Structure 1
Amino acid sequence: MLKTTGRLLAAHWPALLAWFLAGVLVRYLVIELAGFVGAYSAVGGLLLMPLAILARLVGFVAMFLTVRDGMARLGAIAPLPPSASERRRAFVDALLAGVLPFFAFYAAWGYLRDDMAAYSARALEVQTEVNGASELLGGEAVARGAGTIDQLGFEPVTILLIVVAFAGRWAWNRYRDRLPRLLSLVAVYLEAIWVFLTVMLLSQATGWIGEWVASRQGMVWLADLRAWTAEQLVPIAWVWEGVEWLLGELGGVILLPVAWLTIAGVIYGQAVAAEAPQLSVGILDRARHGWGALPSGVRRRLADIGGELVSRFRPIGRAFVLMWRAGPVLIGGYILLATLLVAGERLLGYGITRAIGPHDLKTFWFVADTAILLVVPLVTEPVRIALVSSAYDAVIGRLAATDASAPGAPTAPGSDADAAAASVADGQPEDRRRVGDELEVDDERALGIGREDERSDDVERLGPHERA
């Protein structure tokens, strides 16, 4: 991973830096525009806010796809599209697949909260300026509160926007071959709208549920019991607090790198799929049996209804399957490297502030802090993308090597992951086809049940003589 990371950085560092800067700049401009519009209408402002997050997503997708030509193992399995039109289509597909996991990641790590705070601050600033000018000129002031800035919760207009955006995205996916290519940008925006509004509503609902649970009498009793235990059994309280701290730290250390690798898996995974392990659990077995017992027509209708929503989560599931099959040593090594990168990021920020020295908070840091601290992500984000991409390439290599060593797999010389990588460098199409064929076998195994259902449906539609 270290070798591949260094090679990707050496080959693509200027392009990675340019895409990252473009995403940051467009996000800032969109938040400024959304804050101006949100000062007058919450609906208008919040319809613009997904574009700010999309700007970051476009930047990251472009960064991931920029380094793809240096990922030998991924190139052996899923070569780059040869034509410009196919590459544009792959870029749009990667955007559409990445909207849901990226927005979820964006909200979970507090980036969405920061964007909404910047949006609200800008909107309040506009309202203050407009109201001040209105007082001087005797005009009408902008109303504060309901209907402006971010007052858009569980209301009919919010639900309607989600339904319309989801329906428009579904229609584009169904008729995309008949529609102009330019509408693919509209499809990306519609996907971002319904995901953004849904994430906001889920965040509000989670907050309400948390407040309700915290206000229950049972939670008060538990808090009193914990306080009494801490007073009576001090060593146990120390151990309990230590375990809580350790779990919290481990969660942040492990989940952040895994989230980045999942996003990379969704972006790169449009052409790569691994066979998921079959879980043998009683409730799952009964569910599979019940699904198979349903009439074929009912199964088709239910698949049509749920397929559009489930398709958003399928790439995420495939990314987790790839990580599962890669093994704990490879993923653990990647998490270690990602944690060292985070530590270096914080040390770099600490060093920059100490090198600049003490200055006045209002006249210096409030003005220059963003430009100064932007140096940190300018250094670390290209490294992060290269590291995540190299980790995904290693995961793909482990997948190919595992499949090649499985019983019944081809045992020809050079069937490991390094040979697959060498086949790209040496231009040997035989090894490339062999590795791709192994993954196609995995796909056929994973889709075997579905194909049996299709064949049974075809037999039901045939007449007696045709069946014979």
Structure 2
Amino acid sequence: MLSVLVRAGRVWLAHWPALLAWLLGGTLVHFLVLKLASFVGAQNAVGGILLLPVAALALLIAYVAMFLVVRDGMPGLRGLAPLPSDPTERRDAFLSGVLGGILPFVAFYAAWGFIREDVITYTNDAFEWQFIWGFSAALNGRDFDSAGTIDDLGINPLTIGLLVIAFVGRWAYKRYGDRVPHTFGSRRVFGVVAVYLEALWVYLAAYLITDLVGLVTGWVETRQGTVWLGDLRDGLTGWLAPLGILWDGVGWLLGEVGGIILLPLAWLTIAGVIYGQAVKATTPRLSGTRFTRVRARYGSIPARARRRISDFWDSLVVSRFRPVGAAIVLMWRAGPVLIGGYILLFTVVEFGLQWLLIGVSRALGPHEYLGFWVPMSVALVMIATLLVEPLRVAVIAATYDQTVTALADADRSAGDVESHVSGNSVGVAATRDRDEQPVGGIARQQDETGEVERDR
């Protein structure tokens, strides 16, 4: 843990101005996009919903830039993947990092309630615009029509339709993007469009899943079995107070696990996907009678149909979840000591943010609640976050670099080192937006070629 702390300190001291600038820029763009989305959504629901994912994308781009900025202070990662020297390779690496980071970042963004917060802000601001316009229209003796506006996200035809269109567009670019001509920067423009479409469908899907989970949870809470469980708890703890304390303590512990353990691991996973580096790990292989029977049935399908299914599965699932799985395997192989130390450092930084807010509030002294603390609290939280967040990024990057270094040294001593690097560029391992190799690589291609020959 000491080596991680030293590396984090060096990274933070060397790069905090750039980290602060990127974070400030991403936060500002996020705020402005939400305001623009509410203004547009107050007039047209589709326009407002289409702008909402851009707010989350602004934060993702800022974090991708922050993680890439500190790469020159990560000797372990530099040894496996030297920094690209060509500007085009750097742009491709940045684009790959954004594309690969969308899925885990938006999943984290939804799990911690940030998407719902964005939607609430968007809806409230849009209603404020409509109130102003409606009041102005009433003063001038005109009617104000609000039909087809705002339309809060949810399980409705509009949201599902936009999700399907975005997913199909992203799939089409993934399938036929290599045919885009290189003239007049068209490939770069299509790459930006692909990033937006990926962000749009993942954002909408994450919100819909969150909405469905809320519906299922609400349904379960109203079932008779839940009422019986509550009665059982009251009956058991009513006459035995220590049991009630233990019950409440277990519930509190399970609730805190998300913030104490899952949050730092989620950030380390996002960093792993952005950097796209993973030391060779043994992939578990499914086995068993049922799986063997399923594989045999799958092998009886004609070769051409199997190729179509394999391509669809690779583009839909494997290419997106493989980097996430590689990052998780990397953490697993790092061992509990390194990951435990990282979680401790991450928690200390998180507590530092809280104590900073408490210290500043004590230094300012007592003031009027509505006239001072309500507006000042927003500014204090923003300033404290801008100061602490670069340190958090430094801790994450240093931990990842230490993890890669330790595993590479261990594998090198065993004579079994393999790093998944594509073209000396930092991106998402095996998730390039185009020209991706499915599982099995050349061996699978040769197998398919033989199958085609046999079909003929």
TM-score range, shorter chain: 0.7 to 0.9
Q: Deviations over 1:374-401 (max 9, x none)?
A: 2211211110111100111111112212
SS of match in other structure, 2:179: coil
Question: CA 1:313–1:86 in 2, change beyond 3 Å: closer, same or farther?
Answer: same
How far off its partner does 1:279 sit?
4.8
Match of 1:85 among 81, 88, 93: 88
Q: Deviations over 1:178-215 (max 9, x none)?
A: 32212211111111111111112112111111111111
Aligned to 2:433: none
| Alpha-carbon distance in structure 1 between the residues aligned to 2:154 and 2:439 | 44
Aligned to 1:164: 165
Q: Deviations over 1:211-244 (max 9, x none)?
A: 1111111211111111111113332222222222
How far off its partner does 1:314 sit?
1.4
The amino acid across from 2:346 in the alignment is A
Question: CA 1:448–1:251 in 2, change beyond 3 Å: closer, same or farther?
Answer: closer
Match of 2:254 among 247, 253, 266: 247
Q: Which runs of 5+ in 1 are unaligned?
A: 418-432, 434-438, 441-445
Are 1:30 and 1:51, in contact at CA under 8 Å, matched by a contact in 2? Answer: yes
The amino acid across from 1:229 in the alignment is L
SS of match in other structure, 2:178: coil
Aligned to 1:190: 197
Are 2:154 and 2:208, in contact at CA under 8 Å, matched by a contact in 1? Answer: yes
Q: Using the TM superposition, name which of 281-290 and 206-215 deviates more.
A: 281-290
- Following superposition, which runs of at least 4 residues in structure 1 exceed 6 angstroms of deviation? none
Aligned to 1:130: 133
| Alpha-carbon distance in structure 2 between the residues aligned to 1:16 and 1:250 | 28
How far off its partner does 1:298 sit?
3.6
The amino acid across from 2:156 in the alignment is E
| Alpha-carbon distance in structure 2 between the residues aligned to 1:288 and 1:11 | 54
How far off its partner does 1:285 sit?
5.1
Aligned to 1:52: 55
SS of match in other structure, 1:141: coil
Q: TM-score with structure 2 length normalisation?
A: 0.87
1:109 aligns with 2:116: no
Match of 1:278 among 284, 304, 327: 284
Aligned to 1:335: 343
1:405 aligns with 2:426: no
Question: CA 1:294–1:405 in 2, change beyond 3 Å: closer, same or farther?
Answer: farther
| Alpha-carbon distance in structure 2 between the residues aligned to 1:193 and 1:456 | 37
Say which structure, 1 or 2, has more relative contact order (CA 8 Å, 6+ apart).
Answer: 2
How far off its partner does 1:118 sit?
1.8
Are 1:276 and 1:318, in contact at CA under 8 Å, matched by a contact in 2? Answer: no
1:69 aligns with 2:76: no
Give runs of aligned pairs for residues 61-460 of structure 1, distance below 5 A.
61-143=64-146, 147-179=148-180, 180=186, 181-269=188-276, 271-272=277-278, 274-279=280-285, 282=288, 286=292, 289-290=295-296, 293-295=299-301, 296-310=303-317, 311-406=319-414, 408-409=415-416, 449=440, 451-460=442-451
Aligned to 2:34: 31
Are 2:279 and 2:408, in contact at CA under 8 Å, matched by a contact in 1? Answer: no
| Alpha-carbon distance in structure 2 between the residues aligned to 1:67 and 1:53 | 22
How far off its partner does 1:284 sit?
8.2
Q: TM-score with structure 1 length normalisation?
A: 0.85
How far off its partner does 1:40 sit?
2.4
| Alpha-carbon distance in structure 2 between the residues aligned to 1:351 and 1:287 | 64
Q: Deviations over 1:414-456 (max 9, x none)?
A: x9x9xxxxxxxxxxxxxxx9xxxxx99xxxxx98855443332
Q: Using the TM superposition, name which of 172-181 and 246-255 deviates more.
A: 172-181
Q: Which runs of 5+ in 2 are unaligned?
A: 181-185, 424-428, 431-436
The amino acid across from 1:317 in the alignment is G
Are 1:78 and 1:272, in contact at CA under 8 Å, matched by a contact in 2? Answer: no
How far off its partner does 1:153 sit?
2.5
The amino acid across from 2:386 in the alignment is L
Question: CA 1:272–1:133 in 2, change beyond 3 Å: closer, same or farther?
Answer: same
How far off its partner does 1:114 sit?
2.1
Q: Deviations over 1:141-199 (max 9, x none)?
A: 243xx743243432333222111111111222233333221221111111111111111
Q: Deviations over 1:68-91 (max 9, x none)?
A: 121111111111122001110111
SS of match in other structure, 1:309: helix
How far off its partner does 1:341 sit?
0.6
| Alpha-carbon distance in structure 1 between the residues aligned to 2:324 and 2:112 | 18
Match of 1:17 among 10, 20, 25: 20
The amino acid across from 1:373 in the alignment is V
| Alpha-carbon distance in structure 1 between the residues aligned to 2:88 and 2:237 | 65
Q: Deviations over 1:24-49 (max 9, x none)?
A: 11011111111111222322211111
| Alpha-carbon distance in structure 1 between the residues aligned to 2:90 and 2:61 | 14
| Alpha-carbon distance in structure 1 between the residues aligned to 2:294 and 2:338 | 33
Q: Percent identity?
A: 48
| Alpha-carbon distance in structure 2 between the residues aligned to 1:150 and 1:397 | 50
| Alpha-carbon distance in structure 1 between the residues aligned to 2:340 and 2:293 | 34
Aligned to 2:183: none
| Alpha-carbon distance in structure 2 between the residues aligned to 1:380 and 1:100 | 25
Question: CA 1:290–1:358 in 2, change beyond 3 Å: closer, same or farther?
Answer: farther
| Alpha-carbon distance in structure 1 between the residues aligned to 2:340 and 2:289 | 31
The amino acid across from 2:292 in the alignment is R
| Alpha-carbon distance in structure 2 between the residues aligned to 1:454 and 1:292 | 17
The amino acid across from 2:410 in the alignment is T
- Give the length in aligned residue pairs: 431
How far off its partner does 1:276 sit?
3.9
RMSD: 2.7
Are 1:40 and 1:142, in contact at CA under 8 Å, matched by a contact in 2? Answer: no
